[in-house]
Amino acid sequence: MKVDVLLGLQWGDEGKGKVVDVLTPNYDVVVRFQGGPNAGHTLEFEGQKYVLRSIPSGIFQGDKLNVIGNGVVLDPALFKAEAEALEASGHPLKERLHISKKAHLILPTHRILDAAYEAAKGKSKVGTTGKGIGPTYTDKVSRNGLRVGDILCNFEDKYLAAKARHETILKSLNYKYDITELEKNWMEGIEYLKQFHLVDSEHEINNLLKAGKSILCEGAQGTMLDVDFGSYPFVTSSNTICAGACTGLGIAPNKIGEVYGIMKAYCTRVGAGPFPTELFDETGKKIRDLGHEYGAVTGRERRCGWIDLVALKYAIMINGVTQLIMMKSDVLDDFDTIKACVGYKIDGKEIDYFPYDIMENEVEPIYVEMPGWKTDMTRFTSENEFPEEFNAYIDFLETELETPIKIISIGPDREQTIVRYTE
């Protein structure tokens, strides 16, 4: 059995949560491999809306096993709030959710450090989600982190040592904070975490594969936020790309099967950093309003723009995407024309690849413009109903991106999903 990976190809919020939920019935196990509660994955079904941060989006479909892998960073306080809310809404998960002992813990002081570093950056701040992601991964890589498995033995000493180290840094930054409430919730979260199956997930996952079980990996953030290949330094602190599933779970590269790449029919970004196709006009505002483009975690306004095929080709290459999934096409249902960026002009020179120096230069997008379909597609149930202009748009994208678009999403609900090439 192979492991399929589903990941975002843009700057996050492509609709990963919705599609993982839709695909879960085809799998035995759903796993998260990187990121933490900086993620906000939204699912809608039966008139209810759920936003998941650390818990995999396979949690609602039957009694499938869901696993939080070693590559994830976990905040026990936020995890407790998320898990308790799910249990209260009739979705018990203690028996169905396993957590890697090797996942790193986000400490209260990591969150404070995140805010302190952002404050120190002034105008060049990244615009993080403030969840302590950067400082936690920093401690992991510098071999100072605390892991979930640490809560089982001699934890207090380890915690106090880490906290003291962080406090020294905060003092040097002259950053004022009050940790009391954060720490109280966090300690309650630690106790709560002990009620879950804390596992050696790399063994568990490989054993499941050997036993013929099928696994779906759920990415968080997006390829353009990857710490190596995104628009550094305006990125998150983990490898969001397909290779991250290997390191974040302990599976070998030759176990990877399908790689589903998710993109919106347009593009959004939250936080700072380059965004070549960003629209500052009425069109951008219309996309934001129709797409309800506000952050699931922070409520921040998402920056909106046309689809960027230069960045998408780069993301498809880095991830080895085998099939595309296009989300939120309904948001463009009422536009006279639709644009797609096919190249960049930098310093008067045209290029068709994502450049290293995207940060330093003004990038002018080169667009192809196509007629809009001007049709409400939200109630469609089959691709046979697609208007001609929409078919032309997806044909164009498939040709440019050299990858088939296998699923089209036409609304936030689980049901508003059209699978193509089903014969």
Which residue, 96 or 288, is less far from ligand GDP as judged by CB?
288
Residue nearest to ligand IMO according to CB distances in the complex: 271
Tokens of 197: 């199956």
Residue 332: what are its φ and ψ, rounded to 5°? -95, 10
Asked if 309 touches ligand IMO (CB under 6 A), the answer is: no
Residue with smaller CB distance to ligand IMO, 221 or 409: 221
Catalytic one of 41, 104, 110, 166: 41
- CB nearer to ligand IMO: give 155 or 232: 232
330 binds, among ligand IMO, ligand GDP, Mg ion, none (CB under 5 to 8 A by kind): ligand GDP
How many residues would you count in the chain? 423
Site string for Mg ion, 10-49 (x = CB under 5 A): ---x--------------------------x---------
Convert residues 352-371 into a mask of x (bound to Mg ion by CB under 5 A) and - (unbound): --------------------
Q: What is the C-alpha to C-alpha distance for residues 29 and 279, in angstroms, rounded to an integer?
A: 39
Binding mask 126-145 for ligand IMO (x = CB under 6 A): xxxx-x-xx-----------
Q: Which of 296, 304, 310, 338 binds Mg ion (CB under 5 A)?
A: 296
Q: Mark whether 13 is an active-site residue.
A: yes
Q: Does residue number 37 form part of the binding site for ligand IMO (CB under 6 A)?
A: no
41 annotated active-site: yes
Question: What is the distance between the alpha carbons of residues 328 and 199, in angstroms, rounded to a whole number?
Answer: 37
Q: What is the DSSP string of 55-81?
A: S-TTTTSTT-EEEE-TTBEE-HHHHHH
Per-residue string for binding with ligand GDP, 240-279, x by CB under 6 A? ----------------------------------------
Provide DSSP, 95-133.
TTEEEETTSEEPPHHHHHHHHHHHHHHGGG-----SSSH
# chain residues binding ligand GDP, by CB under 6 A:
24
190 versus 265: smaller Cβ distance to ligand GDP: 265
CB atoms within 10 A of CB 356: 8
- Rounded-to-integer distance, Cα 96 and Cα 80, Å: 15
Q: Which of 31, 27, 60, 29 is nearest to 43 (CA)?
A: 60
Its sign, for the CA torsion 351, 287, 417, 224, is positive
Q: Binding mask 191-230 vs Mg ion (x if CB under 5 A, - otherwise)?
A: ----------------------------------------
- Closest approach of ligand IMO to the CB of residue 225, in Å: 5
- Residue burial 25-60, b: 16+ Cβ < 10 Å; e: rest: eebbbbbbbbbbbbbbbbbbbeeeebebbbbbbbbb
221 binds, among Mg ion, ligand IMO, ligand GDP, none (CB under 5 to 8 A by kind): ligand IMO
How far apart (Å, rounded) are the C-alpha atoms in residues 197 and 285?
A: 45
Cα–Cα dist 421/236, whole Å: 35
Let me know: does 240 contact 225? Beta carbons within 8 Å: yes
Shortest distance, CB of residue 348 to ligand GDP, whole angstroms? 36
Q: Which of residues 218-247 bind ligand IMO (CB under 6 A)?
A: 220-222, 225, 236-237
Choose, by CB under 6 A, the member of 13, 139, 204, 293 that binds ligand IMO: 13
Q: Exactly one of 8, 108, 189, 250 binds ligand IMO (CB under 6 A); which one?
A: 8
Contact by Cβ (8 Å): 104, 36: no
Binding region for ligand GDP (CB under 6 A) out of 30-38, 248-256, 290-298, 307-315: 290-298
Which residues lie closer than 8 Å to 406 by C-beta, 6 or more apart? 260, 323, 324, 325, 419, 420, 421
How far is Cα 63 from Cα 92, in angstroms, rounded to an integer?
10
| x/- letters, 306..345, toward ligand GDP (CB under 6 A) | ---------------------xx-xx--------------
Using only C-alpha atoms, the chain has a radius of gyration, in whole angstroms, of: 21
Tell me: does residue 411 bind ligand GDP (CB under 6 A): yes
Catalytic residue IDs: 13, 41
Residues in contact with ligand IMO by the rule CB under 6 A: 8, 12-13, 38-41, 126-129, 131, 133-134, 220-222, 225, 236-237, 270-271, 296
